[in-house]
Chain A
Amino acid sequence: MKKENLRMQQPEMDRRQFHSRLGWLGVAASGAIAAAGNLLYLKPAVDYGPPTRIRVGRPEEYKEGLKEIYENERIVVVCEKDGFAAISVKCTHLGCTVRTSDSGFECPCHGSQFDNDGFVTGGPAPAPLNWYQISLTPNGELEVDKSVVVPSGTYFKV
């Protein structure tokens, strides 16, 4: 009877097991923290890419109906009677540069087609082309901000 009681009182793990598990927990925790630190280190913190704000000339240089393509910046600036718009020419499928076509834009890589407003009319592209915000700088130049996406069909009067 007494023996039974003693056995009941015995803890589920002994001292050695407890310390061993504590040690392994420490190893696992420090490993996890080190892994998280390394991943965080590799996450780009500073963007060395091209600037998101692009100057595209003065409004009076544009005529109504004109489409000005900026190849390196990968945008097309459209001038309509409603105002100015900047549409991305980066295909929403896999990032190739689309070219203008009779019906709007088309992608040379996998054949996606877009209308003049950048909406998908054919091919694998999953989303319409981005439209970006345009503003006027104090010295009277148009500035496109590629970090601000606006709804398709938004024209900016300047």
Chain B
Amino acid sequence: MAPDKSTEKKSAGMEFFENVYRSIFRYGRIPQDGEGASYAVFNNLFLHIHPVKVSRHSLKFTYTFGLGVIATSLFLILTFTGVWLMFYYYPSATEAYGRMLDLRSSVDFGFVLRNVHKWAAEAMVFFVVLHMARVFLTGAYKPPREFNWVIGVILLLLTLGLSFTGYLLPWDQLAFWAITVGTSIAGYAPVIGEPLRQFLLGSDSVGQEALIRFYVLHVVILPGLLYVFLAVHFWRIRKDGGLSHPSENEPQDVAEKGAEL
């Protein structure tokens, strides 16, 4: 009698957790059969970035070197470390430099977060450019992916914008003069130059107004836009038929491609 009771109790508890698990993962444990596995991937927000079927060619590491994934991962790292830095950073002309020094020397692990943020930022620009070069060299910008190339260019500009706006925030001599020179260069653009400079600086020279404007651009507007365009970028990879592959423009593949769509 007794063993029966205990198993009944256990199964009730198990049932609860199983219900919770099933409410999150509709297909229970990862199915081993092809169709079940496909549905599991298809119905998972994170996994459905991949098509249910991946061509053998796409799995070859040396085709992409994972450059886009690396750039995206770096952006996630930058978001995480950036939010944590925001707990101590204060965008004020009198406070900012001191807060940066405190992060570097006093706050526990502050120097780690700051340096990870710094190096991930440098690396993100580097890998975004490499990713762009890979896409160019493999001809992945060609139709039907030509619009995703345009989205990619927007992402590159947003990355550079983030890099530029973040540069002012330590509020040291390097930052001050770099932004003085950088915004002056913007001022040379025909027609929109001077209004653009005024919009960025909020004043005639680099000061408190410029700091708060760069801060808002750096922590809210540009990352927000980047996430939106990143989502579109990923979505288009799927809709444009996954990674480019050499055989796709050959005539015997056209019928197969039509079936895919």
Contact = CB atoms under 8 A, between A and B. Distances in A.
Interface in B202-225: 202-205, 207-209
A48 B181 contact: no
B198 A49 contact: no
Contacts of B202: 44, 48
B44 interface: no
B177 interface: yes
Given A44-B203, A48-B203, A95 B208 contact: no
Contact of A48 (B177, B195, B198, B209): B209
Nearest to A47: B203
Interface in A35-50: 42-44, 47-50
B199 A49 contact: no
Chain A's interface: helix, strand, loop or mixed, by majority?
loop
B209 A49 contact: yes
A27 interface: no
B175 to A, nearest CB: 14
A42 B201 CA distance: 11
Interface of A: 42-44, 47-50, 93-96, 109
26 contacts: A42-B199, A43-B195, A43-B198, A44-B201, A44-B202, A44-B203, A44-B209, A47-B203, A48-B202, A48-B203, A49-B203, A49-B204, A49-B205, A49-B207, A49-B209, A50-B207, A94-B180, A94-B185, A95-B180, A95-B181, A95-B183, A95-B184, A95-B205, A96-B177, A96-B180, A109-B177
Interface of B: 177, 180-181, 183-185, 195, 198-199, 201-205, 207-209
